Structure 1
Amino acid sequence: MASLSGAAAFLGVAVAAVSAIRVRQKSKPSPLEGVNLKAALGVVSTRASDAGGGWTPVAASDEAAAVEDARVDRMESADDVVTYDVPHVQEWPYFGEGDSGSGPFRNPLMGKQWTGTSLFVGENEAIVTPTMLNTHRGAPPPVRRRFLVAGPYERVRWRPSEVRAAIVTCGGLCPGLNTVIRELVMCLAYSYGVRKIWGVPNGFRGTYENAYIELLPRTVSSIHMRGGTVLGTSRGGFNVDKILAGLERYGINQLYVIGGDGSHRGALSIFKGAIENKVKLAVVAVPKTIDNDIPIIDKSFGFDTAVEQAVRPINCAHTEALAAHNGIGIVKLMGRHAGFIAVNASLAARDVNVCLIPEEPFSCRLLCEHLVTRLKSSNHAVIVIAEGAQISRTDMQECGAIDAAASAAKPPKTDESGNPVLDDVGAFLRTYIAWYFKRIGVETNIKYIDPTYMIRSVPANASDSLLCSDLAFAAVHGAFAGYTGFTVGQVAGQTVWIPISAVAQSRTCRVSTKSRLYARLLGSTGQPSYAPAAAESPADALGDLLDWARP
């Protein structure tokens, strides 16, 4: 009996340690009631009037708004399980109008010789994550989340012969864009037999400004070997009415949007506009951001490649710094709001002495005081700085990098999508360091490297290529299963479907300076805190350094 109870206890621990569990349900879950968990997840109302980020909001009809509000209400549970309810064409009767209706039809994959029963997932099969609870120091239990498992259904809602698919890439370049395009085309053509697949040139504006490009398996078979996107991309030009009219001109009924948080907000507006105007259009997004800051999902494609590529300029900066007397190498990496690339590349390179990210404010003077100590002991230093790291205007004015009066009168710049145009923080940092050491009479050799465009324009590495393929196939499977207004991603290692509204209207991810990841960074670089609040007056700090600085 003791052995049996011990075995049972062991199995209980093993089950609790699993990061996600899979459950099957034969029917859709009923609306859940209970404690409101939307605030804890950063989920806000999904009404079109609340859409932000520079996109033109679509005035949803009362019917569409009611459906969206009901969906948000289902993201609650008395059992602390949040259900991410993905929209389905069955919710809107007009999808079933016409000769063919909205199915269900037999999945063409069932006729393939290489398919088996393990290929298909059950309708409404889901995972619930996490199951491991953290009770350390009385921490509250984590919010458990329920996601639909992505994969092909045995019954589909679209006849392949009637599908007209379009693919559009939006925003900045990212390794893996061409791989996603290729895999979308291959899955549509070879798995489902879709004959009409179009590529939309130059982002959202291309849906109504440019002629579409027909995509065939033979024309995209090798594009994964190239960086960038064969379709071209752009920012801005978003207009729901024009986009829907342009898609209607080509008879498009499945739209695949590859882009970041701004593109997801755009895809959400297109989805709502289609519902309001009763357009038979499945809107599917594939998350893309090289910064890895899209919420909910484990990781976005292109991030692994970016980290791998970023190690090379860091190694070059280290070599340059070692070869010079008081050599300082500065490398600027991507990361407008999140420092994931800078942190992970610094950890991977292991030769970085200072890593500066947007999440941790810093004082240039405190940084330079640390560099004095570093150069005195090791004669070189390597600094990695994310493009969104904040140098205060006081620091920039102090070293003469900007004029106070001119800076105050100058309005902030924005790009076509409404995003702020960032100043070159790496160049400012180089200017300040050079000014500081000249002021204390210490000669330095500073090398500044900005590899941004070299990193983002390369093709995806093996890891990202696998992720691109997984996401692209999941997107097509979801569209044929009858879902719309959703995006795809891996959560707890499982590929799932997620409502676009949950991603588009949630806060972007950022590096937590209280996380184990950041603690490992500090342990690797040995850098102290450069928080401005800890700063002394410039005169006192400079006085303490003169004994070493003077000959």
Structure 2
Amino acid sequence: KGTRISVKVDEVYLWEVEHLGKFFPSEGKGIENHMHHVGDTSQSLPKGSPILKSTDIDKNDNNKTQYNAIMGADECILVDLVRKPPSSTSQIQTSRALVRAGPRRELHFNPASVNAAIVTCGGLCPGLNNVIREITNALYHLYNIQGTVFGIRGGYKGFYDPELPPIKLTPSFVENIHHQGGTILTSSRGGFDLEKILGFIQKYKIKQLFVIGGDGTHRGAYRIHEGCLETV
């Protein structure tokens, strides 16, 4: 049992999150967002999933799994959780809101043409190999990308240092790396050279770059973001 009170929200101000489509045309328009179960080892797949070649995906819809929920464009999370009854009937009740995270109905990138790169920078912390492993598995198993996932070695300098060639990351390669400490890609501080990093991104047609690190690392990631926008 409870008491009914008059609490409502008249207006919601949604904080905008810039969409990739604002800067880069969508390549995935019309491509529905499904989870794909594709792999080369049974250990890398969810229990009971079939082991398939990527070419079999479109031949058998049973290999596609729907997400439990697809987020709509206007779905949001209210920031102001504490609400009070209005002091007068004319008072407008407002609230702020954040865009709700989760899978959208259509993909932005076309999985058939995606190359990705993962880099770890700065000091070590627990779980780095877990992050590398899960990103790699998600790209191949969930999104069914047909390109390459590059593991950038030695931090930012791995984008251009000839003594640190990138590693090709695959589900079989990362299968057991979560049992190891540190990062299989190794890491370092410094070495940030925006022009050379952008050169690597352009040369290998990287469409998704995953930067793992702390504050300084992500200041560098933001500069890469700005540099990519300038080349559009």
In structure 2, the CA distance between the partners of 1:127 and 1:208, relative to structure 1 (3 Å rule), is same
Q: State the distance in 2 between where 1:125 and 1:267 align.
A: 28
Per the alignment, in what secondary structure is the counterpart of residue 155 of structure 1?
coil
Q: 2:31 aligns with which of 96, 105, 126?
A: 105
1:88 maps onto 2:38 in alignment: no
Letter in 1 for 2:156: F
What does residue range 137-156 of structure 1 map to in structure 2 within 5 Å?
Answer: 146-156=97-107
Match of 1:118 among 53, 58, 68: 68
Q: 247, 255, 262: which one pairs with 2:201?
A: 247
* 1:162 match: 113
For 1:220, the equivalent position in structure 2 comes to: 174
Say whether the 8 Å CA contact 1:104–1:157 is kept in structure 2: no
Counterpart residue type for residue 245 of structure 1: G
Question: What pairs up with 1:392-407 in 2 under 5 angstroms?
Answer: none
Q: Secondary structure at the match of 2:205?
A: coil
% identical aligned pairs? 39
Task: Tell me, in whole angstroms, the C-alpha distance in 2 between the residues paired with 1:244 and 1:125.
Answer: 35
Aligned length: 195
Shift of 1:132: 2.0
Do residues 206 (structure 1) and 158 (structure 2) align?
A: yes
* 1:351-390 equivalent positions in 2, closer than 5 A: none
The residue that corresponds to 1:187 in the other structure is: 138
Shift of 1:207: 1.2
Which is helix-richer, 1 or 2? 1
> By how many angstroms is 1:123 displaced?
2.9
Partner of 1:256, secondary structure, is: strand
Does the CA contact (< 8 Å) of 2:34 and 2:67 recur in 1?
no
Q: CA deviation at 1:124?
A: 4.3
Contact 2:152 2:159 in 1 (8 A): yes
Question: 3-state SS of the aligned residue for 1:198?
Answer: strand
| Native 8 Å contact 2:71 2:102 kept in 1 | yes
Partners of 2:130 and 2:96 in 1: how far apart? 30
Which ranges in structure 2 are unaligned for 5 or more consecutive residues? 37-60, 85-94
Looking at structure 2, the residues matched to 240 and 233 of structure 1 have their Cα atoms a distance apart, in angstroms, of 17
**CA separation of 1:122 and 1:112: change in aligned 2, threshold 3 A:** farther
The structure having more radius of gyration, on CA atoms, is 1
Structure 1 unaligned blocks of 5 or more: 17-78, 135-143, 279-551
CA distance in 1, matches of 2:12, 2:223: 30
Q: 3-state SS of the aligned residue for 2:78?
A: strand
- Could you state the TM-score of these two structures normalised by the residue count of structure 2? 0.73
- Give the direction of change, closer, same or farther, for the CA distance of 1:243–1:117 in structure 2 (3 Å limit): closer
Matched residues in 1 for 2:124 and 2:220: separation? 17
**What is the DSSP-based 3-state SS (H/G/I as helix, E as strand, rest coil) of the residue aligned with 1:267?**
helix
Matched to 1:115, the amino acid is: T
SS at match of 1:227: coil
SS at match of 1:257: strand
| Aligned mates of 1:172, 1:181 — CA distance in 2 | 16
SS in 1 for 2:35: helix
**Separation in 2, partners of 1:218, 1:145:** 45
One of 231, 236, 241 as aligned partner of 2:190:
236
Q: Which has the higher contact order (CA 8 A, sep 6+)?
A: 2
Question: How far did residue 114 of structure 1 move?
Answer: 6.7
TM-superposition CA deviations, 1:93-132 (whole Å, max 9, x none): xx33xxx845242224385557345242223422122312
CA contact (8 A) 1:121 1:152 kept: yes
Q: What is the deviation of 1:178?
A: 0.7
Q: Deviations over 1:200-253 (max 9, x none)?
A: 001111112131110000111111122211111111111211110022222211
Residue identity opposite 1:201 in structure 2: R
Q: Which amino acid aligns with 2:124?
A: L
Partner secondary structure for residue 65 of structure 2:
coil
Post-superposition CA distance 1:42-74 (Å, at most 9, x none): xxxxxxxxxxxxxxxxxxxxxxxxxxxxxxxxx
The 2-side partners of 1:231 and 1:146 are apart by: 38
Query: In the alignment, is the contact (CA less than 8 A) between 2:35 and 2:141 conserved in 1?
Result: no
Q: Which residue of 1 aligns with 2:50?
A: none
Residues 503-524 of structure 1 deviation map (CA, whole Å, 9 limit, x = unaligned) = xxxxxxxxxxxxxxxxxxxxxx
Q: Distance in 2 between matches of 1:80 and 1:119?
A: 23
The alignment's C-alpha RMSD in Å is 2.9
Asked if the contact 2:34–2:66 (Cα under 8 Å) also holds between the matched residues in 1, the reply is no
